[in-house]
């Protein structure tokens, strides 16, 4: 339970951040617990996170502001391990370095700054800019479906073949987006509207082509489905997929031309044998 000092301080900070939010940041406390805050960071321009919707939590100690909060980011980003406590100078990993003058806006601004850097710490992961851009494009889908575990469907888009009881990238959400919808109902409806307009399958997170269109979904998005967001590994699977495609392509060419290869080899053998035979028989 929050102390009176913490309650007063956090209520004041909520009023301030709601009235004048920092760039690319919105946040509010939970209705049931003022010590539990939910934030959304929007990926800033000229970063691989541009346009991404990154949802996380700040869990404040009862004696805040004399101790820092635990910081987590739930949305897979390619920068942090989802739902993992982050070791930062502004988090509960370093209580002695926390300045009581720092506010929620200060903490979240610091988090956004650290996110757009390449500094490593406990809870962070390495990834390429390309991988992070792929994650950014899927953040809204992930937030509102709990990584593909939502039972909500979109007529004409959710296919009969769709089946995903666990979710793609559902590290510690897996709740069908219930938590996100409860804290961010307006953003959740906006996300579903975008998924409908872009024909994004709520189960897989992949684009479903219209009936009159041709071609499969984006291969980059398909590769991202095999990404491991919960660990420190950063391979996207595109390399594996590309290698398999190359092997299949090579096997297909050989299959189509195997008789030509056989006859060509046989003809070359006869020609070489004849030339060698003539060389041996000549005086």
Q: Which residues are catalytic?
A: 87
Angle between helices 4-19 and 104-115 (to 10 degrees): 60
CA distances from 86 to 74, 81, 90, 94 (A): 11, 9, 10, 11
Whether 151 and 167 have beta carbons less than 8 Å apart is answered as no
Tracing tokens 């300045």 back to the chain, one arrives at 99
How many residues can be counted in the chain? 283
Tell me how far apart the alpha carbons of residues 83 and 85 are, in angstroms, rounded to a whole number: 7
* Token pair in block for residue 33: 């617990």
CA distances from 149 to 84, 108, 137, 169, 265 (A): 20, 28, 18, 10, 56
Peptide bond into 21 cis (omega under 30): no
DSSP 226: T
E strand or H helix that includes residue 71: strand 70-73
Whether 163 and 203 have beta carbons less than 8 Å apart is answered as yes
Tracing tokens 């709601």 back to the chain, one arrives at 18
């Amino acid at each position: 339970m929050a102390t009176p000092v913490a309650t007063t301080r956090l209520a004041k900070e909520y009023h301030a951040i709601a009235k004048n939010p920092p760039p690319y940041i919105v946040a509010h406390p939970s209705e049931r617990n003022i010590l539990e805050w939910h934030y959304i960071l929007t990926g800033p321009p000229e970063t691989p996170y541009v346009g991404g919707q990154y949802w996380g939590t700040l869990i404040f100690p009862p004696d805040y502001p004399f101790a820092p909060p635990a910081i987590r980011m739930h949305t897979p980003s390619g920068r942090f391990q989802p739902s993992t406590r982050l070791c930062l100078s502004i988090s509960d990993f370093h209580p002695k370095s926390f300045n009581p003058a720092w506010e929620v806006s200060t903490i979240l601004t610091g988090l956004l700054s650290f996110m757009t850097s390449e500094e490593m710490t406990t809870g962070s992961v390495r990834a390429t800019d390309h991988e992070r851009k792929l994650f950014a494009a899927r953040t809204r889908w992930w937030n509102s479906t709990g990584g593909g575990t939502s039972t909500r469907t979109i007529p004409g888009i959710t296919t009969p073949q769709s089946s995903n009881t666990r979710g793609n990238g559902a590290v510690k959400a897996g709740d069908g987006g219930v938590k996100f919808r409860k804290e961010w109902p307006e953003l959740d409806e906006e996300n579903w509207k975008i998924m409908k307009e872009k024909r994004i399958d709520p189960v897989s997170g992949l684009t479903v082509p219209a009936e009159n269109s041709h071609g499969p979904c984006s291969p980059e998005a398909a590769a991202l489905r095999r990404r491991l967001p919960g660990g420190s590994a950063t391979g996207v699977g595109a390399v594996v997929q590309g290698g398999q495609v190359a092997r299949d392509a090579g096997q297909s060419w050989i299959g189509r031309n195997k008789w030509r290869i056989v006859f060509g080899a046989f003809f070359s053998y006869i020609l070489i044998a004849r030339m060698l035979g003539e060389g041996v028989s000549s005086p």
